[in-house]
Chains A and B, each alone.
Chain A
Amino acid sequence: MIELRQIEHAFTLGRKGNERRVPVLRGIDLTIRQGEIVTLIGRSGSGKSTLLHIASGFIRPTNGRVTIAGQDVTDYGEGQWADFRRRYLGFVFQNFQLIPSMTAFENTELPLVLQGVPAENRRKQTTELLEKLGIAAYADHYPSELSGGQQQRVGIARSLILNPPVLLADEPTGSLDSENEEQLLQLLQSLNREHGITLLIITHDDKVASIGNRTMRIEDGQLVSPAGTPNEYRKLEVVKP
């Protein structure tokens, strides 16, 4: 489903005329099969978020190719990426990234609005999804009126509303307490089980990492696989597809 081939990336830092290039990713090869949950762990600055952003199209890699759902998206322009994201990708952010001036309902239906879906269909689909995720009662609430867990559920509802085959999650439990974290992980696992959604999750939380069919560690811009000895994760529940 997702193929990252020889991905290299370097950031250019410093003032003009005095720039220096800082390599972040050094030849990453990663293949994620359809319906697989892959978790990516690593220390801060290891390059894990950069890799996710490359897979999301937010950053273009310095070198290497990105193929998602059989399409080589490496050289896509902004417009092509926008259309591609709506069709194939859902995003779960650490800070939820809800639009503060929109209600939970409006935030959830936003991708449908961008897709040009008629209002009546939007209302039906959004209501169904909010009910399914147990947050229909908060449809008219603004993000500031919701708890962290509720906001993250709205964020997930928004990411799922167009039924994407791939979900990219960046520290999805980073802003949640342990109870909400547990609920969220169960939700992600059930989505994977019931809908076959492919998940790539970036985390530094071992518990989150444990839900992956595979857990990859990234160190100094290179993948170290497997992430560690099985004993390191033996206490964690690992769900196999």
Chain B
Amino acid sequence: MKTSDKLRFVKQNMAKNKSRIFMTVLATAMGCTFLMMIASVAFGLQRSLVDEMMQGQTLTEIQIHSKMNGDTHEAIKQADVDRFKKLDHVKAVTAQRFTQGEVTLDGYKTSPTGIVTNFEEETKAGLQLSEGRMPTSGAEAIVGYHFAEHLLKDGSSEAYPNSLLGKQVSFNVTGYNPKTEKEEPLGTVKLTIVGLMLKPDKEWVQSTDLYLDDSIQSQLFHKGFEANPNVKVYADSANHVTTLSKALRDEGYQLYSVADSIKEMDLVFLIMKIGLVFVGTIAVLIASIGIYNTMTMAVTERSQDIGIMKAIGANPKTIRSIFLMESFGIGLFGALIGLAVAYGLSALINAVVPPIIESVLDGKAPEGFTFTYIPLSLSLVSVGISLGVAVLSGMRPAARATRIDVLRALRRDI
């Protein structure tokens, strides 16, 4: 028997009991929706946490804090930085040192943190600007996105009104003098602002730093003072982060990478998701009782038809496949409806919950927080579970259909 004819049979059979089939499909859809919604909370939570962890960082980034020498921590030295650059799978190494001072421009002043770094390495690491370009010499600098807002007229709260690009500022450097062991002025450096950093993702983050080229280090730190750098090693791909981290750890470096943390967090969430999918599957299993009942009734009602079909040469496999296709159909309709409802509900929850939190709890929902998230994998797993459970529910009634006694079905005395 051709599949198209089997489908026609299934369609006709389902049309005979529309209301019963509708209720069964509805139960399956509800089970599927419940399964997806309960698991989508874990996916949403994970997504929010990963986004939070990834804020301002990339997956390929490894932060090196110190080097262990026996039981003592040693600061990372320039020699270590140079060594990192030669390691396999390293794309870039940034070493940022921090200085302080006062920036003045046309009577406006601010006291930013000066970040001294190598812009060539920063560019390789993926540093991006919202405006302008990277400095090409020590006489050039870039500033944070909110720098101008903090550049205030002396004695007032009036911020610098114009664009800073192309403007020359004076940076009056102050630093720790190891000779006197005090913070002392070091001198003034003239800098031309050539670039503006990207706007931070979070509204509450203020980007007010001054970024300087490391070629003028001698003008930024007192002689004899070696500033400890904030070192970040960037792997050439996320796949090499683990290998690179391990190699660095083996050499005694203390480090942290988002990728490692996410991997650990993924394991926790994986266990959580499996647990929630399992709980959700119980709802689908409850719906499967309805499918079993519907299919059993269908077999009972059609036992005479089945008997006639068997008498005129219908193979038991054909009978079984027709009933399995019917239960598969119920599962498919239920899963697709459940899928659509789950996506709708998820969008609704993500849109409605933050205002509710704000109005009812008098607080603010975390920025960018995803309450529920349905990735493609969850959709596929949910549809797969619904279909699998539907087919399993139909197997016993289908097997019963194949065992229908022809003579009994034809209501003949023997």
Chain A residues with a Cβ under 8 A of chain B = 11, 49-50, 53, 56, 58-59, 78-79, 82-83, 85-86, 89, 91, 93, 95, 97-99, 101, 110-111, 113-116, 118, 158-159, 162, 170
CB<8 Å pairs between A and B, sample of 8: A49-B412, A56-B311, A83-B315, A86-B313, A93-B410, A115-B313, A118-B2, A159-B312
A89, A97, A118, most chain B CB atoms within 10 A: A97
Cβ A110 vs Cβ B311 within 8 A = no
Cβ A114 vs Cβ B318 within 8 A = yes
Interface check B12, CB cutoff 8 A: yes
Of all chain A residues, the one with the shortest Cβ separation from B406 is: A58
Cβ A50 vs Cβ B315 within 8 A = no
Of all chain B residues, the one with the shortest Cβ separation from A94 is: B412
Cβ A83 vs Cβ B410 within 8 A = no
Cβ A111 vs Cβ B313 within 8 A = yes
Distance between Cα atoms of A78 and B403 in the complex (Å): 9
Partner of B410, one of A79, A97, A114: A97
Partner of B1, one of A78, A99, A113: A113
Q: Which residues of B contact A97 (CB under 8 A)?
A: 308, 311, 410
Cβ A85 vs Cβ B313 within 8 A = yes
Cβ B407 vs Cβ A53 within 8 A = yes
Cβ B311 vs Cβ A58 within 8 A = yes
Distance between Cα atoms of A170 and B2 in the complex (Å): 30
Q: Determine how close the nearest CB of chain B comes to the CB of A113; give it in whole angstroms.
A: 5
Q: Determine how close the nearest CB of chain B comes to the CB of A221; give it in whole angstroms.
A: 13
Q: Determine how close the nearest CB of chain B comes to the CB of A216; give it in whole angstroms.
A: 19
Q: Which residues of B contact A11 (CB under 8 A)?
A: 414
Q: Determine how close the nearest CB of chain A comes to the CB of B370; give it in whole angstroms.
A: 51
- Within B61-78, the residues touching A (CB, 8 Å) are none
Cβ B312 vs Cβ A101 within 8 A = no
**Known contacts A79-B317, A101-B16: A110-B410 contact under CB 8 Å:** no
Interface check B310, CB cutoff 8 A: yes
Interface check B88, CB cutoff 8 A: no
Q: Determine how close the nearest CB of chain A comes to the CB of B214; give it in whole angstroms.
A: 79
Q: Which residues of A contact B1 (CB under 8 A)?
A: 113-116
Of all chain A residues, the one with the shortest Cβ separation from B319 is: A82
Distance between Cα atoms of A49 and B5 in the complex (Å): 33
Cβ B315 vs Cβ A82 within 8 A = yes
Q: Which residues of A contact B2 (CB under 8 A)?
A: 113, 116, 118
Of all chain B residues, the one with the shortest Cβ separation from A111 is: B312
Of all chain B residues, the one with the shortest Cβ separation from A56 is: B311
- Within B146-170, the residues touching A (CB, 8 Å) are none
Interface check B305, CB cutoff 8 A: yes
Cβ B311 vs Cβ A85 within 8 A = yes
Interface check B314, CB cutoff 8 A: yes
Distance between Cα atoms of A78 and B319 in the complex (Å): 12
Give B1-24 as 1s and 0s: 1 = Cβ < 8 Å from A's Cβ atoms. Answer: 110010000001000100000000
Cβ B410 vs Cβ A82 within 8 A = no
Q: 4 additional contacts, CB 8 Å, given A53-B414, A98-B308, A113-B1? A: A58-B311, A83-B315, A91-B312, A97-B311
The 6 A-B residue pairs with the shortest CB-CB distance in the complex, in nearest-first order:
A86-B313, A85-B313, A82-B315, A58-B406, A99-B305, A113-B5
Of all chain A residues, the one with the shortest Cβ separation from B317 is: A79
Q: Which residues of A contact B138 (CB under 8 A)?
A: none
Distance between Cα atoms of A59 and B5 in the complex (Å): 29
Q: Determine how close the nearest CB of chain A comes to the CB of B335; give it in whole angstroms.
A: 28
**Known contacts A53-B414, A99-B308, A114-B309: A79-B315 contact under CB 8 Å:** yes
Distance between Cα atoms of A138 and B308 in the complex (Å): 21
Cβ B414 vs Cβ A49 within 8 A = yes
Cβ A50 vs Cβ B313 within 8 A = no
Q: Determine how close the nearest CB of chain B comes to the CB of A86; give it in whole angstroms.
A: 3
Interface check B316, CB cutoff 8 A: yes
Distance between Cα atoms of A178 and B412 in the complex (Å): 23
Cβ B311 vs Cβ A91 within 8 A = yes
Cβ B313 vs Cβ A114 within 8 A = yes
Distance between Cα atoms of A49 and B407 in the complex (Å): 11
Q: Determine how close the nearest CB of chain A comes to the CB of B252; give it in whole angstroms.
A: 72
Cβ A82 vs Cβ B310 within 8 A = yes
Cβ A86 vs Cβ B312 within 8 A = yes
Q: Determine how close the nearest CB of chain A comes to the CB of B95; give it in whole angstroms.
A: 75
**Known contacts A99-B305, A113-B1: A85-B312 contact under CB 8 Å:** yes
Of all chain A residues, the one with the shortest Cβ separation from B305 is: A99
Cβ B313 vs Cβ A83 within 8 A = yes
Distance between Cα atoms of A78 and B410 in the complex (Å): 17
**Known contacts A58-B406, A101-B16: A50-B414 contact under CB 8 Å:** yes
Distance between Cα atoms of A111 and B1 in the complex (Å): 10
Q: Which residues of B contact A114 (CB under 8 A)?
A: 1, 309, 312-315, 318
